[in-house]
Structure 1
Amino acid sequence: MSYGTTFPALRAAAGGHWPAYTRHAFVRSMGTGELPSAAFLHYLRQDYLFLIHFSRAWALAVTKAPDLPAMRACAATVHALLDEEMKLHVATCAAAGIPEAELLATPEAVECVAYTRFVLDCGHAGDFLDLLVALAPCVLGYGEIGTALRDEATSDAYADWIATYAGDEYQGVCEGVAVLIDRTVAERIGPAPEASPRWASLVETFATATRLEAAFWDMGLRGCP
């Protein structure tokens, strides 16, 4: 998936960190159906908590946004997270006998703490663009992973998860975020972002968030007995 022009450039600059995240053993074993359900449920419980903090980060983006269209785009993403994406977690866990109250009471893993607080810190310490770049690996990476698994999966064991992130609704969120990033880059650092003195810092933020994504998958695998 391309998702605009800035995201592919950041993804390329992240080097090996990107495939370590998007082609992680956790991801590949979802496609083959070999991922143990215990590992998947452990991941889902943590990702439910992650999405709460991630929604806060997008809400922070509303306050950082430079104008009304950007505010609306960020607010729409908050809605998609809280009212759409989290439904998958609640429904899947409920089917496994884990009610939403138990999800909320799940102790937060250190990997979840590290990643979500990193993103929020980028938003509080930096500007709108810093926050968008910190948010990008999750939003756009899951879109890329979803479409890859849709095309490559040899098992339907995790079909609901794959369908959520490969589906038109989530892909629409990805396209909207990519447009917002491209527009913000053009406004803040011009038409040649890679020539900007700021580019190295943005790449570092993107790469760090990508590393934290891979660590989140590691955490999921360790949750398997």
Structure 2
Amino acid sequence: MGYCFTDLTHACQKDWRAYIQHDFVRQLGNATLPEASFRHYLKQDYLFLIHFARAFALAAYKSPTLADLRQAHEGMKAIVDVELGLHVGFCREWGITEADLAELPEARATMAYTRYVLDTGSRGDLLDLHVALAPCLVGYGEIANWLNAQSFTQRGADNPFEAWIGMYESDEFQAAMHAELEWLNARLAEVTPRRFTELAGIFRDATRLEIDFWQMGLNLSE
């Protein structure tokens, strides 16, 4: 019997729950997150997106098939041509100019997470890279779904973070999440127990770094 993505989350269930249900996420859902924390997160997330695009470029290099190459190309194209522009516009609504973004120093949590992903992809194969990216690619969609299932979550104009939740619950993002899950499940089904243990370690480390990324926002850490 092969493995699947759920086996990865079960392998680090405590860390996965701490990530999905982090205080940053809870406060974002119940509209109590300090606006300074959200702005700090937005700025660092802009830098993360740039490295995310680099990760897809690395995925293209690591792609063993034309289908994988096309997937990597489309992922990088979506970030560079669409998502970064949308993020800049979103930041502008929060009083963060494009000039501000261009001069941002990277917070240590941003450096730790993005370099871990790139290093993992450089040392390993395409599956290693996708597993390192999965807490972001899959996790944000799961976070939106988890928030929508909580009684404390406020939706609508009374929540200044409504647009953020809406972005990750959108049909477009949820479809991308499920496409990534299908890709991961197909490849995890073929791995050996020893290989799965290696991948679970990568997933656990990346999830812990995502937790640090949330905490950076709460603490306004540089």
**TM-score > 0.5 by shorter chain:** yes
RMSD: 1.6
Q: Cα deviation per residue 1:46-83 (whole Å; 9 max; x = unaligned)?
A: 01101100111111111111111112222222233333
Gaps of 5+ in 2: none
Does the CA contact (< 8 Å) of 1:45 and 1:89 recur in 2?
no
> After the TM superposition, which residues 138-157 of structure 1 pair with which residues of structure 2 at under 5 Å, given as runs?
138-152=136-150, 153-155=153-155, 156-157=159-160
Answer whether contact 2:117 2:129 (CA < 8 A) is retained: yes
Are the equivalent residues in 2 in contact too, given 1:119–1:135 (CA < 8 A)?
yes
The alignment's TM-score, normalised by the length of structure 1, stands at: 0.89
In structure 2, the partner of 1:110 is: 108
Distance 2:12 2:78 in 1: 27
Decide whether the 8 Å contact of 1:137 with 1:206 is kept in 2: yes
Q: Is 1:173 aligned to residue 176 of structure 2?
A: yes
The corresponding residue for 1:159 is 162
User: Could you tell me how far 1:15 is from its partner in structure 2?
Assistant: 2.0
Which of 75, 78, 81 in structure 2 is aligned with 1:80? Answer: 78
Amino acid at match of 1:198: R
Partner of 1:66, secondary structure, is coil
Partner of 1:184: 187
**Residue pair 1:73, 1:176 contacting (<8 A) in 2 also:** no
1:53 to 1:219, Cα distance in 2 relative to 1, 3 A? same
Equivalent position of 1:220 in the other structure: 217
Aligned to 1:56: 54
Q: 1:42 aligns with which of 29, 40, 43?
A: 40
Name 1:200's counterpart in structure 2: 197
Secondary structure at 1:16 match in 2: helix
Tell me what 1:24 maps to. Answer: 22
Corresponding residue SS for 1:198:
helix
Structure 1 unaligned spans of 5+: none
1:129 aligns with 127
Q: 2 CA distance for matches of 1:42 and 1:120?
A: 23
Q: Does the 8 A contact of 2:188 with 2:196 survive in 1?
A: no
Whichever residue aligns with residue 159 of structure 1, its letter is: E
> In the alignment, what sits opposite 1:91?
89
Identify which range, 215-224 or 113-122, moves more after superposition: 215-224
Counterpart amino acid of residue 185 in structure 2: D
In the TM superposition, residue 100 of structure 1 has moved relative to its aligned partner by 1.4
Shift in CA distance, 121/27, structure 1 to aligned 2, threshold 3 Å: same
Count the aligned residue pairs: 214
1:150–1:163 CA contact under 8 A, matched in 2: no
